[in-house]
Amino acid sequence: MTDFRHLEVRPTPQTFVARVRGVDLSRPLEAAVSAELLAAWARHPVLVFPGQRLDPAALQAFCGVLGPFGHDPYVEPMPGFEHVIEVRREADETAPIFGSLWHSDWSFQATPPSATLLYGAQVPPLGGDTVFADGYAAYESLSPVMQELLAGLRGVHSAAPSYGPRGLFARDDESRSMRIIVSPEAENTETHPIVRRHPVSGRRSLFVNHVYTIGVEGMRADESRALLEFLFKHMTRPEFVHRHRWHADTLVIWDNRCVVHYADGGYEGHPRLMYRSTVAGERPAA
């Protein structure tokens, strides 16, 4: 357990993840508690808060503790809650699972969200894990030669593979319960450093992902594909990965600037409902 006065923070064996107790997130937080929470998040990019009772209003209110709200495109928010999305899947749904490939949320934006908050409102009895990978450790384990090669390179990010007219969700069947928007705007691109410096911790991490990083600026398609495939495989090696098994009334916060994740399946025949919100970020910098 780490040295906090107001929170109980217990790192997991993969120290980029920690479990936090001793705080009720449904109530306004004292300044000292908020400061410790932010300090814990700077040390551990994934925080797990078991035993929280949060409805959409409480989640939206708590999100403001971490910063201003992010912009969540292509998915309609809950009625009455502009900054909360229902990540819903019905028991008989056959459409692809939302978020089922490694990604960093909305990395195709000019200023991708710093944090995502996900709350387990209705958790199936099996499956439905969220799997995280540590971009810090992945970068730091690279050879100095590879780190030097990546310095200055910029990845090309786009929402087209998911939300474009020819993307994954354009091929959905009618069983999809989430309200997803397909748009030609998803074909726009943004470039970000492949190695990103965190604005709080100062550490460098890999900032590429399977879903939204579609190329490397200035490289031919075959060159960028080879480099990105190496990085994708490297950053999701078992030693960098943590599998979170959900229980009802648990909130998880993760840092999109240094963590990638995906949603696992395995709960066919059971409904699953999560509430999700994001915190605004800054333009990635090397």
Chain segment 42-62, per-residue pLDDT in tens:
999 999 999 999 999 999 999
pLDDT band at 23 (very low <50, low <70, confident <90, very high): very high
Please indicate whether residue 1 or residue 50 has the higher confidence score (pLDDT): 50
Can you give the pLDDT at residue 2? Answer: 62
166 as an active site residue: the answer is: no
| Per-residue pLDDT at 262 exceeds 80 | yes
83 as an active site residue: the answer is: no
Q: What is the DSSP string of the chain?
A: ----SS-EEEE-SSTTEEEEES--TTSPPPHHHHHHHHHHHHH-SEEEE-S----HHHHHHHHHHHSSBPP--SBPPBTTBTT-EEEEE-TT--SPPTT-S-B-TTTTSSS--SEEEEEEEE--SS---EEEEEHHHHHHTS-HHHHHHHTT-EEEEESHHHHSTTSGGGG--TT--S-B---GGGG-EEEEESEEE-TTT--EEE---TTTEEEETTS-HHHHHHHHHHHHHHHT-GGGEEEEPP-TT-EEEEETTTEEEEE----TTS-EEEEEEEE-------
Which one from 192, 244, 261, 272 is the annotated catalytic residue?
261
Domains, the chain: 8-279 (3.60.130.10)
Can you give the pLDDT at residue 118? Answer: 98
| Per-residue pLDDT at 1 exceeds 60 | no
276 as an active site residue: the answer is: yes
Can you give the pLDDT at residue 3? Answer: 80
pLDDT band at 173 (very low <50, low <70, confident <90, very high): confident
Can you give the pLDDT at residue 248? Answer: 96
At 99-150, the pLDDT tens digits run 999 999 999 999 999 999 999 999 999 999 999 999 999 999 999 999 999 9
249 as an active site residue: the answer is: no
Which one from 83, 103, 157, 257 is the annotated catalytic residue?
103
Can you give the pLDDT at residue 237? Answer: 98
Which one from 44, 83, 89, 105 is the annotated catalytic residue?
105
Can you give the pLDDT at residue 65? Answer: 86
At 174-210, the pLDDT tens digits run 899 999 999 999 999 999 999 999 999 999 999 999 9
At 210-247, the pLDDT tens digits run 999 999 999 999 999 999 999 999 999 999 999 999 99
Mean pLDDT for 145-165 is: 97
